[in-house]
């Protein structure tokens, strides 16, 4: 017998920790620290965040970029490229071999492709009338 309930943050951590533990019984970790936070932010002279990237290197020397954002007034001057390349450089220093991310058709697919990323998956209708692209790059 069981009951399905909403999760607390503590519950989510428990679930992820147990999934990682299972995964590691199948494929051992290739890095000392299971999750290495590579996230960065860019701030202006007033200390306001004008861009940032959320990225983590996980178990098998792979980096997942969850989010990359640049404020509208700061776009077009290379900040997004700088943030992404900074994470890539740090990832290489930590022996990462692969970086991957996803983007929507109304976001930055061409931006990533110019930086050497290639599409390896497409999800149509997410959201309705749009396409989500999954991209990767060998480091």
What is the model's pLDDT at position 4?
95
47-56 per-position pLDDT tens digit: 999 999 999 9
What is the model's pLDDT at position 55?
98
The answer to whether 62 and 99 have CB atoms below 8 angstroms apart is yes
What is the model's pLDDT at position 83?
98
Please state, in angstroms and as integers, the Cα–Cα distance from residue 104 to each residue in 21, 110, 126, following that order.
32, 11, 8
14-27 per-position pLDDT tens digit: 999 999 999 999 99
CA distance 56 to 20: 14
pTM for this model (two decimals):
0.92
88-109 per-position pLDDT tens digit: 999 999 999 999 999 999 999 9
Q: How confident is the model at residue 134 (pLDDT cuts 50, 70, 90)?
A: very high
Set out the domains of the chain in order of their start, with CATH numbers.
30-138 (3.40.630.30)
The answer to whether 51 and 69 have CB atoms below 8 angstroms apart is yes
Mean pLDDT of the chain: 97
What is the model's pLDDT at position 95?
97
């Amino acid at each position: 017998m069981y009951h399905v309930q909403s999760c607390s943050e503590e519950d989510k951590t428990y679930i992820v920790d147990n999934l990682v533990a299972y995964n590691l019984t199948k494929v051992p970790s290739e890095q000392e620290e299971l999750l290495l936070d590579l996230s960065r932010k860019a701030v202006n002279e007033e200390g306001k965040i004008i861009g940032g990237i959320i990225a983590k290197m996980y178990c098998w020397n792979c980096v997942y970029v969850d989010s990359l954002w640049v404020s509208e007034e700061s776009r077009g001057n290379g900040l997004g490229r700088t943030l992404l390349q900074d994470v890539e450089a740090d990832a290489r220093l930590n022996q990462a071999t692969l970086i991957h991310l996803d983007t929507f058709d109304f976001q930055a697919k061409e931006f990533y492709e110019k930086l050497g990323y290639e599409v390896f998956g497409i999800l149509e209708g997410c959201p309705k009338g749009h396409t989500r692209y999954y991209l990767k790059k060998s480091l």
